[in-house]
Amino acid sequence: MKNHTIQRYLGNFARGLILLFFLLVVLVPIYWMVITSFKTNAEIINTQEITYFPRTVTTDNYVQLFRLYDYRSMLANSLIVSVSTGLCVTFLSILGGYGLARYSFRGKDTMLLFFLVTQMIPGILVIIPLYVIFAKLGLINTRLSLFIFYVIANLPFCAITMRSFFERIPYTLEEAAYVDGCSKLKSLITIVLPVMFPGIVAVFVFAFIGAWNELIAGTIFINTSDLWTVPVGLKSLIGKYDVRWGVLMAGGVCALLPTAIMFAFMQKFVVEGLTSGAVKE
Amino acid sequence: MGILVFYLALIAVACAFGIVFINKRTGKKSLFRVSNSMQRKAEPYLFLLPVMLLLLLMFGYPLINSFIMAFQNYKLTSPGRIYFNGLENFRNLLSETDISLIIANSFAYVVISVLGQFILGMTLAMALNKQFPFRGIYQALVFLPWSFSAFVIGLMHRWSFNGEYGVVNDVLLRLNIISSKIAWLGTPGFSLAVVIFAMIWMGIPFFAIMILAALQSIPKDVYEASYIDGCGPLRRFFKITFAYIKPTVIVTILLRTIWIFNSFDLIVIITNGGPANFSQTLPSYMYTKAFSSYDFGLASALGVLLMVTLVVYVTVFLKITKYNKAGNF
Amino acid sequence: MKKKVLLALALITISAMMVLVASPSTEKRETTRLRFIDVSPSPTRQEYFTNTFEKFKQETGITVVYESVPWDDAANKLTVLGASNQLPDVMTTWAGWLGQFTEAGWVVPLADYIGNTKSEYASTVTELVWKAEQELYGNIYTIPDGMMVKGVFVRKDWAKEAGLNLDMKKGWTYSDYFDAVYKLTDPSKNRYGTSFRGSRGAFDPLFVYLTSLNGGSAYAQDGSTLLANQEAIDAYKRWMALYLDGCAPRDAINWGFVEMVDNFCGGLTGTLINDSEVAATCLANMEDHQWMVMPMPRSDKDGKIYNTVNAPYAYSISSTSKNKDAAWKLIEFLTRPDNNIEYCKLTGLIPIKTAVGNDPFYGPDGPYAAFVQQLNDPDMVVPVAFGPFNFTDMHQGMMHEEMQKYLLGRQTAETSLLNVVRELERRMKRYLAENPGSSVEQPKGLL
């Protein structure tokens, strides 16, 4: 009995150390970003002395970010596009993942390979032909073009991932439902999806972030600055000779908030949605 | 514009209805194996129809186009002179003086980044698998590196690792770990290390989230049974935990490798491939070449080479890890 | 049941999002609509252009849409636009791209549009920029937005401490310049003499230095290079010694523009060779007593100042534009003296029309004094460009990579220099052969 307790304490201690380590690794650069966003430009580029806390705390960068650079519209654009992408991709990859996982059919392996191959195509070779197509359809400089591109870009990965999540659910669960008289669709929705919930949430988050962070398509498909997403807008702070470091860091920090909130809630949904799965110790 | 909206919505709705319809017709039979009925045969295709349609539409044409361009003399600056030139693009590629260095860099970059992310991500996932106070807030913070745009991360690292005013040197000097400033971005070897470091930092949350989601879907009873059987922690890890998450791990490593292999934004931002191509990888080389020499035949040839390499890798990897067998238990 | 409701909700949200996504934030169709792209946007520029376009609309009834792309991605975006025939009507272009654009046929010759109004433009434009374009590409393709000249930014306070006597009006030679860099280097104070550029663009100032030994030329009439002799190799070594002897931080081997300027303004380096645009950054980040601008050094050989003069974001008309005449009207409007001087003051450039007169902003006591002085100096010569052919791939690659290889000790100076100039020579000779009747560009002076 004592052995077990010591083991448990050691385990918790090790766990605590690991958690602390990762927290530091993540927080230190973010801390640096945050304090930089509160420094004056002169202090930032002062090469003779690096300050670990702003000598003069200034909110100038944030003010400029919102007033001068219209960050609000960038955030709005990014949010609209990313949430739409996340929802659409999740929905389609549930369908696709289920099909890939539960069925054995001709062409399945080719399809899988095709999914993977789409991930291997270098971006620039796709963007130019796509630009021509979008231009013909009059989609250039619309959020729709970004939405379409992000959905298609993130779909293969999310479908494959969803498939692997489905595969882990033993078929016996559904079988039991059929015996009880459920239709295929009903069993999918009422039995399988709740168990899959952590996976579904994960996939949504990935699709969202895939769209949130994307830069190249945002630059190419959008012409006017009122439709810029956050990454493109922040990139415009890099001029030919100088970088507006303070404002850039402020923008980066602000861009973190939606995703941070999502990550926090992700855990909540995951825990609540589970019917079986959490390890009890 | 509205046409496309309706088109997409139509596909989604049609598929949903199709599935419901077919369900009502075929009843509640088990459909795990392909049966003789045409409608049952059609089911999987219906599930996958929207996905495949979209992918084919958007990736099909560029894919074919790239293959064709790889064998053509296709320069944007001479639009009138497009002709097939066989393997000349490939020959030009391989005759680039630093090509072996670039290839070596690519492999080092991919292998070290993936391994680093995997090991660290797995560790983090396992540490997170147990409830502890403030876990929600902790998770909100520790996954943040994934939510940065690559170019923000790149800029931060370019700035922090600057030999003169960078934070890293300052800290290392203060802690007496080094005695003089290191020119991180200006020294061969170190410049690549900085890029790898940035890539690992960015990618840990991805692995962690995927593995965590997999871990949390392991049925409780399996663990309980193992306790009753008196299983040791190490054995429990390998026989149960790892076996359950193996498919996820395989998929994640596979995809991450493909992405990292193809990624170039971090490199372009942090070091621009320098100094002297010591942190240049194949994709960043292709990116620079495509937009500076306007030679899309050459860029496509390189793109094709990259794709072929990845296809070979994927096939070998899946065979080795016996992926197709891993899913069934 | 609850799950079905959720599913329905999800579908509704999706449709709602799609509607939001599909709604554009723009514009109704009008009769003439011009697209204008700015390759170096900033809130100041955007505000200036949007206001000016409003004025333009009131005067002519033509609407102009302001498009922009961050500088870092500007070249790539224009490439994609060009490759898909979607270039905007009026583009701001950087001189370095003209080789590609003219070769790909993306820009329209402007000589006919300019016609008789040529006399309205300052001689810097007609004698330097346009003459060069005509020699290189056979016609005029851009209207400069403002003139930009290089100068040497120096830490005035450090120079005083080191006992250097720098007089802007007198100028200095390259020997003086190298001397000053060595004197300003003081490792004990963590000071370096120069913001050495080692990454993209590193070869540019070095090229100017090498041509200063040949009267500003780089090629003989038949296209063979003048920069492959022992004199050039020695000069190459002298330039690179600035880095190898520790007058620049070790990191500088991979420095781009941003690092150079940041480190000068941040107090790490003592000199910085750069365009007049940087003066605005210095004004914003440094005190007056800390910096000054010296003209570019004179050649040790013939005492002339060799300096590049160009327009950072010159206006050009794309060949696929459907409203070329309206586009020209816009350019005319933007370069009208009153608009032009307002623009130049905002962006730190020098006006392009002679009607500008004597604005004290550009006078001998202003921050741009050194630049204006050089432009009025009879001894100033603009050296040749790399060539009329496309050299962007070299500029993004081998030009600075060869330098880096030498600095890393992997190659001799001779090999590094010859690799680059021989390739330039090869391309020049091929260009001359493929374009009979063309000749090698000559250096230009103002008088």
Q: Which of C261, C146, B30, B119 is nearest to A102 (CA)?
A: B30
User: What does the pLDDT read at residue B293?
Assistant: 78
User: What's the pLDDT band for A279 if we cut at 50, 70, 90?
Assistant: very low
Query: Chain C within 8 Å of A127 (Cβ-Cβ)?
Result: yes
C25 with A84: CB under 8 angstroms?
no
Measured distance CA(B291)–CA(B110) in Å, rounded: 24
Q: What is the pLDDT of residues A211-267, one digit of tens each?
A: 998 998 999 999 999 999 999 999 888 887 778 888 989 998 888 888 888 877 776
CA angle C141, C348, C120 (to 5 degrees): 45
Dihedral of alpha carbons B19, B21, B24, B30, sign: negative
Largest CA distance in chain B: 77
Query: Chain C within 8 Å of B230 (Cβ-Cβ)?
Result: no
Residue C361, sorted as left (phi over 0), alpha (psi -120 to 50) or beta, turns out to be alpha
> Is residue C184 domain-shared with residue C236, that is, in the same domain?
yes
> Is residue B286 domain-shared with residue B138, that is, in the same domain?
yes
User: What does the pLDDT read at residue C62?
Assistant: 92
> Is residue B183 domain-shared with residue B126, that is, in the same domain?
yes
Residue-wise over C414-439: b if at least 16 C-beta within 10 A, else e?
Answer: eebbbbbbebbbebbeebbeeeeeee
> Is residue B47 domain-shared with residue B108, that is, in the same domain?
no
> Is residue B144 domain-shared with residue B252, that is, in the same domain?
yes
Q: Which of A69, A81, A123 is nearest to A210 (CA)?
A: A81
Angle between helical axes of A2-37 and B99-128 (0-180°, round to 10):
120
- Asked if B217 and A195 come within 8 Å (Cβ–Cβ), the reply is yes
Q: Which residues of chain B are within 8 Å of residue A98 when distances are taken between CB atoms?
A: 47
> Is residue B60 domain-shared with residue B113, that is, in the same domain?
no
Which range of residues forms the domain containing residue C119? 32-144+313-348
> Is residue B154 domain-shared with residue B288, that is, in the same domain?
yes
- Dihedral of CA atoms C375, C380, C386, C389 in degrees, nearest 10, equals 60
- 3-state SS, residue C124: helix
User: What does the pLDDT read at residue B7?
Assistant: 53
User: What does the pLDDT read at residue B324?
Assistant: 53
Q: Work out the minimum CA distance from C18 to partner chain B, whole angstroms.
A: 7
Q: What is the pLDDT of residues C331-364, one digit of tens each?
A: 999 998 889 888 988 887 888 877 655 677 777 7
- Asked if B201 and A25 come within 8 Å (Cβ–Cβ), the reply is yes
- Compute the average pLDDT of residues C317-330: 93
Dihedral of alpha carbons A38, A43, A48, A49, sign: negative
Largest CA distance in chain A: 75
**Chain B, window 272-291: residues with a beta carbon less than 8 angstroms from a chain A beta carbon:** 283, 286-287, 290-291
In a domain, B179, yes or no: yes
Which range of residues forms the domain containing residue B256? 93-320
Alpha carbons within 13 angstroms on the beta-carbon side of residue C13 total 16
- Asked if B129 and A206 come within 8 Å (Cβ–Cβ), the reply is no
- Is pLDDT at C27 greater than 50 in this prediction? no
In a domain, C353, yes or no: no
3-state helix, strand, coil in chain A (%, to 5): 75, 0, 20
In a domain, B306, yes or no: yes
> Is residue B143 domain-shared with residue B247, that is, in the same domain?
yes
Percent of chain C with pLDDT over 90: 47
Chains A and C form CB pairs within 8 A to the count of 133
Q: Work out the minimum CA distance from C70 to partner chain B, whole angstroms.
A: 13
Q: Which of A9, A13, A22 to mutate to test the interface with B (most CBs of B within 10 A)?
A: A22
Q: Which residues of chain B are within 8 Å of residue C19 when distances are taken between CB atoms?
A: 5
**Chain B, window 92-111: residues with a beta carbon less than 8 angstroms from a chain A beta carbon:** none
- Asked if C18 and A84 come within 8 Å (Cβ–Cβ), the reply is yes
Q: Which of A276, A278, A11 is nearest to B131 (CA)?
A: A278
Query: Chain C within 8 Å of B169 (Cβ-Cβ)?
Result: no
> Is residue C262 domain-shared with residue C214, that is, in the same domain?
yes
> Is residue B53 domain-shared with residue B158, that is, in the same domain?
no
> Is residue C131 domain-shared with residue C163, that is, in the same domain?
no
CATH number, domain of C206, equals 3.40.190.10
Q: Which of C22, C68, C76 sits opposite A225 (nearest CB)?
A: C68
Taking the alpha carbons at both ends of chain B, their separation in whole angstroms is 47
Dihedral of alpha carbons B216, B218, B222, B227, sign: negative
For chain C, what is the total number of helices (H) and then of strands (E)? Answer: 19, 12
CATH number, domain of B128, equals 1.10.3720.10
DSSP 8-class letter at C366:
S
Q: What is the pLDDT of residues C279-308, one digit of tens each?
A: 888 888 888 889 999 999 999 888 899 998
Q: How many CB atoms lie within 10 A of CB C383?
A: 23
Measured distance CA(B121)–CA(B126) in Å, rounded: 9
- Is pLDDT at C110 greater than 90 in this prediction? yes
In a domain, B216, yes or no: yes
Angle between helical axes of A245-273 and B150-160 (0-180°, round to 10):
130
- Is pLDDT at C399 greater than 90 in this prediction? yes
Q: Which helix (H) or strand (E) holds B190?
A: helix B190-215
- Asked if C284 and A81 come within 8 Å (Cβ–Cβ), the reply is no
Q: Which of C7, C203, C254 to mutate to test the interface with B (most CBs of B within 10 A)?
A: C254
- Is pLDDT at A125 greater than 50 in this prediction? yes
> Is residue C200 domain-shared with residue C258, that is, in the same domain?
yes
Q: Which chain C residue has its CA at the smallest distance from B77's CA? A: C104
Q: Which of C22, C200, C408 sits opposite B276 (nearest CB)?
A: C408
Q: Which residues of chain B are within 8 Å of residue A209 when distances are taken between CB atoms?
A: 146-147
**Chain A, window 165-204: residues with a beta carbon less than 8 angstroms from a chain C beta carbon:** 189-190, 193-194
> Is residue B129 domain-shared with residue B19, that is, in the same domain?
no
Percent of chain A with pLDDT over 70: 93
User: What does the pLDDT read at residue A168?
Assistant: 72
Q: Residue C283 corresponds to which amino acid?
A: L
Mean pLDDT estimate for chain A: 83
> Is residue C336 domain-shared with residue C394, that is, in the same domain?
no
In a domain, B156, yes or no: yes
Q: Which of B162, B272, B294 sits opposite C251 (nearest CB)?
A: B162
In a domain, C7, yes or no: no
Measured distance CA(B126)–CA(B213) in Å, rounded: 11
User: What's the pLDDT band for C80 if we cut at 50, 70, 90?
Assistant: confident
Q: Work out the minimum CA distance from C80 to partner chain A, whole angstroms.
A: 6
CA angle C118, C122, C128 (to 5 degrees): 90
Count the domains in chain C. 2
- Asked if B217 and A199 come within 8 Å (Cβ–Cβ), the reply is yes
Matching residue, tokens 């922690």: B233
Using CB atoms within 10 A of its CB, is residue B81 exposed (0-12), middle (13-18) or buried (19+)? exposed
> Is residue C235 domain-shared with residue C204, that is, in the same domain?
yes
Mean pLDDT estimate for chain B: 80
Q: What is the pLDDT of residues A40-97, one digit of tens each?
A: 887 887 777 788 888 888 888 999 888 888 899 999 999 999 999 999 999 988 888 8
* pTM given for the model: 0.84
β partners of residue C306? C381
Measured distance CA(C266)–CA(A44) in Å, rounded: 8
- Asked if C200 and B191 come within 8 Å (Cβ–Cβ), the reply is no
- Asked if C257 and A219 come within 8 Å (Cβ–Cβ), the reply is no
Q: Residue A83 corresponds to which amino acid?
A: V
Q: Which of A27, A148, A182 sits opposite B28 (nearest CB)?
A: A182
> Is residue C162 domain-shared with residue C227, that is, in the same domain?
yes
> Is residue C208 domain-shared with residue C300, that is, in the same domain?
yes
> Is residue B261 domain-shared with residue B140, that is, in the same domain?
yes
User: What does the pLDDT read at residue B240?
Assistant: 75
> Is residue B106 domain-shared with residue B248, that is, in the same domain?
yes
> Is residue C230 domain-shared with residue C163, that is, in the same domain?
yes
In a domain, C57, yes or no: yes
Measured distance CA(B73)–CA(B80) in Å, rounded: 11
Q: Which helix (H) or strand (E) holds C123?
A: helix C123-123
In a domain, B254, yes or no: yes
User: What does the pLDDT read at residue A265?
Assistant: 74
In a domain, B192, yes or no: yes
User: What does the pLDDT read at residue C26?
Assistant: 46
In a domain, B77, yes or no: no
- Asked if A241 and C281 come within 8 Å (Cβ–Cβ), the reply is yes
> Is residue B304 domain-shared with residue B203, that is, in the same domain?
yes
DSSP 8-class letter at B309:
H
Q: Work out the minimum CA distance from C262 to partner chain A, whole angstroms.
A: 6
User: What does the pLDDT read at residue B110?
Assistant: 94
Q: Which of C149, C152, C304, C151 is nearest to C214 (CA)?
A: C304
Asked if residue A231 has a cis previous peptide bond (ω within 30° of 0), the answer is no
Alpha carbons within 13 angstroms on the beta-carbon side of residue A249 total 23
Q: Which subunits count as partners of chain A given 3+ CB pairs below 8 Å?
A: B, C
- Asked if A113 and B314 come within 8 Å (Cβ–Cβ), the reply is yes
Q: What is the pLDDT of residues C133-186, one digit of tens each?
A: 988 888 999 999 988 889 999 999 999 999 888 888 888 999 999 999 999 999
> Is residue C163 domain-shared with residue C267, that is, in the same domain?
yes
In a domain, C366, yes or no: no
Q: H/E/C letters for each residue in B30-56?
A: CCCCCCCCHHHHHHHHHHHHHHHHHHH
User: What does the pLDDT read at residue A275?
Assistant: 34
Q: Which subunits count as partners of chain C given 3+ CB pairs below 8 Å?
A: A, B
- Compute the average pLDDT of residues C388-408: 89
Query: Chain A within 8 Å of B325 (Cβ-Cβ)?
Result: no
Q: Which of C95, C102, C98, C149 is nearest to C122 (CA)?
A: C149
- 3-state SS, residue B83: strand
> Is residue C230 domain-shared with residue C251, that is, in the same domain?
yes
Taking the alpha carbons at both ends of chain C, their separation in whole angstroms is 88
Q: How many CB atoms lie within 10 A of CB C244?
A: 12
In a domain, B99, yes or no: yes
- Asked if B140 and A263 come within 8 Å (Cβ–Cβ), the reply is yes
- Asked if B258 and A149 come within 8 Å (Cβ–Cβ), the reply is no
- 3-state SS, residue C1: coil
Taking the alpha carbons at both ends of chain A, their separation in whole angstroms is 15
Q: Which residue has the higher pLDDT, A281 or C392?
A: C392
Mean pLDDT estimate for chain C: 87
Q: Residue B244 corresponds to which amino acid?
A: Y
Count the domains in chain B. 2
Q: Which chain B residue has its CA at the smallest distance from A237's CA? A: B152
Q: What is the pLDDT of residues A132-152, one digit of tens each?
A: 888 888 889 999 999 999 998
CA angle C188, C193, C199 (to 5 degrees): 120
Measured distance CA(A234)–CA(A74) in Å, rounded: 9
Q: Which residues of chain B have pLDDT under 70?
A: 1-41, 236, 322-329
Task: Kindly write down the DSSP assignment for every residue of C145-212, as one continuous string.
Answer: SSBEEEEEEEEHHHHHHTT----TTT--BHHHHHHHHHHH-BGGGTBEEE----STTTHHHHHHHHHG
CA distances from B241 to A276, B129, B218, B237, C70 (A): 15, 11, 8, 5, 48
Query: Chain B within 8 Å of A20 (Cβ-Cβ)?
Result: no
Q: Which of A30, A103, A148 sits opposite B144 (nearest CB)?
A: A30
- Is pLDDT at A191 greater than 50 in this prediction? yes
> Is residue C244 domain-shared with residue C338, that is, in the same domain?
no
- For this complex, say whether ipTM is above 0.90: no
User: What does the pLDDT read at residue A223?
Assistant: 92
Measured distance CA(A111)–CA(A109) in Å, rounded: 5
Query: Chain C within 8 Å of B106 (Cβ-Cβ)?
Result: no
**Chain A, window 53-72: residues with a beta carbon less than 8 angstroms from a chain B beta carbon:** none
